[in-house]
Amino acid sequence: MRVHIACIGRLKNGPERTLFDRYADRIGKAGRSVSIGPLSVSELAESRAQRDDDRKAEEARALLAAMPSGAVIIALDETGKTRSSTSFCEDLVRLRDAGTADVAFVIGGPDGHGPALLKAARLSLALGPMTWPHQIARVLVAEQIYRAITIASGHPYHRA
């Protein structure tokens, strides 16, 4: 099952990029044994529309267009469900075992997601009750995908 992250905003060079790249590399290597990965990323520009509703709608259209056809969409949203790492792993394994070819984690812009994207998402997932900058959210998602792979493979990385 291929894994995608589609996001509004670009990750510049720096510590967040270094950490993200480390997890992306680990996903590519460790994921082979459990048929999860590799990871690809689509970075899209923030909308310049004046109204926030217009920005969200424009960004939702761009994000949806950037995903592979038929991908299961998981929207990262502050109002989404919180999951334990183990539950998150179970969700990914269930998708893989159901024959899902592509899963896409979607990170919106500063205004959040437009209704079209939230409607298309199979799941809205929160990274806790706090709001995170998209750079950190991207690192957290990559780390949790890697953690899920290690849980699925029985690797000792996850010690809960």
pLDDT tens figures, 52-97: 999 999 999 999 999 999 999 999 998 999 999 999 999 999 999 9
Does 1 reside within a domain?
no
Q: What is the CATH number of the domain that holds 18?
A: 3.40.1280.10
Query: For the chain, what is the mean pLDDT?
Result: 95
Q: Which structural domain range is residue 91 located in?
A: 11-153
Sign of CA dihedral 126, 3, 35, 149: negative
Geometric angle at alpha carbon 70, from 67 and 73, rounded to 5°: 60
- Please, which pLDDT band fits residue 131 given cuts at 50, 70 and 90? confident
What percent of the chain is modeled with pLDDT above 90?
91
Mean pLDDT for 120-145 is 94
Whole-angstrom Cα distance, residue 24 to residue 22?
Answer: 6
Q: What average pLDDT does range 29-52 have in this prediction?
A: 96
The tally of domains found in the chain comes to 1
* Residue 129 included in any domain: yes
Residues 133-159, mean pLDDT to the nearest whole number: 93
Q: Is residue 160 part of a domain?
A: no
Tokens for 88, please give them.
């998150």
Residue 160's pLDDT is: 64
Query: Is there a contact between 23 and 145 (Cβ–Cβ < 8 Å)?
Result: yes
- Dihedral sign computed on CA atoms, order 4, 123, 131, 147: negative
The predicted-structure confidence for 96-118, as pLDDT tens digits, reads as follows 999 999 999 999 999 999 999 99
96 within a domain of the structure (yes/no): yes
Is residue 5 one of the residues assigned to a domain?
no
Q: Is residue 2 situated within a structural domain?
A: no
Q: How much is the average pLDDT of 17-37?
A: 97
pLDDT of 156: 87
Provide the percentage of residues in the chain whose pLDDT is more than 70. Answer: 99
Q: Which long-range contacts (CB under 8 A, 24 or more apart) does 28-35 make?
A: 30/146, 30/149, 30/150, 30/153, 30/155, 31/3, 31/149, 33/153, 34/93, 34/96, 34/149, 34/152, 34/153, 35/1, 35/96
Instruction: Give residue 142's pLDDT.
Output: 98
